[in-house]
Amino acid sequence: MNIGIFSSANGNVDKSYFSATEELGMWIGSKGHSLVWGGCRLGLMETIAESFRIGTKNLPEEKRGKLIGVIPEIIEEKGKSFSPVDEAIYCKNLSQRKDIMINLSDVIVALPGGIGTLDEIFTVTSAATIGYTNKKVILYNISGFWNPLIDLMNHLEAQGMVRGDYRQRILEAKSIEELSSMFRLLPCQS
């Protein structure tokens, strides 16, 4: 499975987010899944990639998933891209990165993040609402980080601003065990 990760590139965030991100990265790597992420060597982005690499170490090479970095030119130019990756896909801007990541991913996990992560979550969700994709986003709700967003979504739904049940497109997991269960239940999607 190709697991896409949306997350913060900021390093000055709660340490619990780093711990949970590290656990997730090692889990993804150890299960032979591939990791599709923004290719940056900052914040939670760097942590997910490093821990993925650690997670793959005990697997035979033929069973290892790939570390796939989708890297905007500006990240590369500023020397902020993560290395080494198994596959580097360079793109012009954040919009292209988002589109490529969504297309390559079977399922997407949103770790704590800011405006860019929100943009990515809602791009997937709005595309699913219209019918461009049937992919889902799983909010990894570490220490209740996504609670305000869930409250907002509930408010939007109550006001009639959301078509259908958003919970069919945006899922929530509070632990690695819940994420693992969700991955088993989700078919590889297009």
Q: Is the pLDDT of residue 73 over 50?
A: yes
pLDDT at 131: 85
Q: What is the pTM of this model?
A: 0.92
pLDDT at residue 20, rounded to an integer: 97
Q: Is the pLDDT of residue 68 over 90?
A: yes
Span 12-22, mean pLDDT?
A: 95
DSSP 40: B
Mean pLDDT of 69-84: 88
Q: Where are the domains of the chain?
A: 2-184
Cis peptide before 60 (omega within 30 of 0): no
What kind of fold does domain 2-184 have according to CATH?
A: Rossmann fold (3.40.50)
The CA-to-CA distance between both ends of the chain, in Å, stands at: 12
Q: Where are the alpha helices (DSSP H) in the chain?
A: 15-30, 43-56, 73-77, 94-104, 115-130, 147-158, 176-185
Distances, alpha carbon 50 to alpha carbons 27, 47, 122, 135, 163, in Å: 12, 5, 27, 26, 38
Query: Quick one: pLDDT band at residue 80, thresholds 50, 70, 90?
Result: confident
> Using CA atoms in the order 97, 112, 1, 120, what is the torsion angle rounded to 10 degrees?
-30
What was the pLDDT predicted at 188? 53
